[in-house]
Structure 1
Amino acid sequence: MPPKCKLIYFHAMGLAEPIRYLLAYGKVEFEDCRVDYEHFLKIKPTMPVGQLPVVEFEGKTLFQSIAISRFFAKKFNLLGKTDEHQLSCDIVVDTITDYRLHFKDVHFCDDPVLKSQKRERLIIETTPFYLSRFETLVNTNGGFFVGAQLTWSDLYFAAILCFMESLLQRNLLDGYPTLESLRTKVNNLDGVKEWIASRPKTDL
């Protein structure tokens, strides 16, 4: 029987990795379909908004990575126990996205001098700004981002961190022991641990 779920993305962790973490956690067998850029250009007109990742699930085509992540988080009871928890998860994920966009800005900068300046600012200013606040938040929530329990915001953070650290080629969590502990907990979750061990090795 073929997998009930197909995830289409590039040869990268990137925006698809949180979805992969969630599917692995939920024990959903999925086809991890990876395409190069030339192939993407061919299929782009068939994509709902011309972007990846796209997930085909139970006869439906899902797009927008955060919305897909939230969809599977609900299926796996990772939204939190209350409406306030759900709101807090969204706030955390949106803030992680704000942080991630600084990495995107560095990655796609073509001017080598400007790219070096942006990279230095990302390491010296931007990263401490966000990670110090994340460290405090997780410290005050029993080792998790929301409600002293595992939620999709924790998996999202650990997965996106893979991309960000690959881009800078450094451990971003040095000096942030609570975040490091959270990453370890997520990466050792049943399903996630197996996914990490078996996933293709990529630069981003």
Structure 2
Amino acid sequence: MGYKLVYFENKGAAEITRYVLACAGADYEDKRITREEWASTVKAQSPTGVSPMLETETRTYTQSLAIARFFANKYGFAGKTEEEKLHADMIVDTLKHDLLQKFFNAFFEKDETRKQEMVKEVFENSNKTLGLLEEKCIDGEGYFLASGFSWADMMLYNVAADFFPLISTNFKVNLSLDSYPKLKKISDNVSENPAIKKWVETRPVTEY
């Protein structure tokens, strides 16, 4: 079955899926579109009006984590047992919704005073979240799951490598994994994965 992943000309919300597909060695079309193309034609093809979109031979799907989770399950990166899959989903949702999304909300806040308040609050809460992940959520040696490498590890790497530098620069904060050695080991292990390394070295160069 042929797959087409449709997203903008950046890493953004589609990169976690690209990491999973890279690790799987899967053949797919990485279709990158401009904002103008999205507004003029592509958005009308989205069943929920958002991107990224996954086109299969039968229909089109949206929602970044749903797409990434589909491929994680398909290619064996979701966890070995049902509870491991739940564990991985918990990690991924925490990183996306309790950390990344809150920074995005602050980024798009138009009131500068409110934005600064949000950044301070989100930065403090993000470090609390990272602390909880470090302390309570790592079952493996260098991986979140006891069974080893999963898409939860890829999501941590995605957040730390692709978004933390951007967040730190834009908000003038120091957001990193340096104070969380177990999390840093997980992210480092992902960065040394041959498939991930090859993808990072060959993917289109974008700011975010």
**TM-score normalised by L of structure 1:** 0.88
Q: CA RMSD in A?
A: 2.0
| 1:118 paired to 2:118 | yes
| Residue number in structure 2 paired with 1:108 | 108
In 1, Cα distance between the equivalents of 2:79 and 2:157? 17
In 1, Cα distance between the equivalents of 2:25 and 2:58? 19
Distance 1:6 1:83, change over 3 A: same
In 2, Cα distance between the equivalents of 1:60 and 1:190? 32
| Residue number in structure 2 paired with 1:8 | 6
In 2, Cα distance between the equivalents of 1:74 and 1:100? 23
Give deviations 1:8-52, integer Å, cap 9, x for gaps. Answer: 112222210100100111111333222222221122111111100
| 1:174 paired to 2:178 | yes
Answer with 55-64 or 85-94: which moved more: 55-64
Give deviations 1:37-82, integer Å, cap 9, x for gaps. Answer: 2221122111111100012234442321111111111122112221
| 1:190 paired to 2:189 | no
Amino acid at match of 1:141: G
In 2, Cα distance between the equivalents of 1:112 and 1:197? 37
Amino acid at match of 1:24: A
In 2, Cα distance between the equivalents of 1:189 and 1:61? 30
Instruction: Answer yes or no: is the 8 Å Cα contact 1:138–1:178 preserved in 2.
Output: no
Answer with 104-113 or 63-72: which moved more: 104-113
In the TM superposition, what is the alpha-carbon distance from 1:129 to its structure 2 partner? 0.8
Answer with 171-180 or 71-80: which moved more: 171-180
Answer with 126-135 or 110-119: which moved more: 110-119
Instruction: Answer yes or no: is the 8 Å Cα contact 2:142–2:189 preserved in 1.
Output: no
- Where relative contact order (Cα < 8 A, 6+ residues apart) is larger, the structure is 1
In the TM superposition, what is the alpha-carbon distance from 1:193 to its structure 2 partner? 0.9
Distance 1:89 1:139, change over 3 A: closer
- Size of the alignment, in residue pairs? 201
| Residue number in structure 2 paired with 1:134 | 133
In 1, Cα distance between the equivalents of 2:111 and 2:25? 43
Distance 1:113 1:186, change over 3 A: same
5+ residue gaps in structure 1?
none
5+ residue gaps in structure 2?
none
SS across alignment from 1:94: helix
Distance 1:140 1:71, change over 3 A: closer
Instruction: Answer yes or no: is the 8 Å Cα contact 1:5–1:28 preserved in 2.
Output: no
Give deviations 1:149-192, integer Å, cap 9, x for gaps. Answer: 11111112211331243232355112112211111111221221
| Identity value in percent | 32
In 2, Cα distance between the equivalents of 1:202 and 1:112? 27
Q: Aligned to 2:204, which of 185, 200, 204?
A: 200
Answer with 40-49 or 169-178: which moved more: 169-178
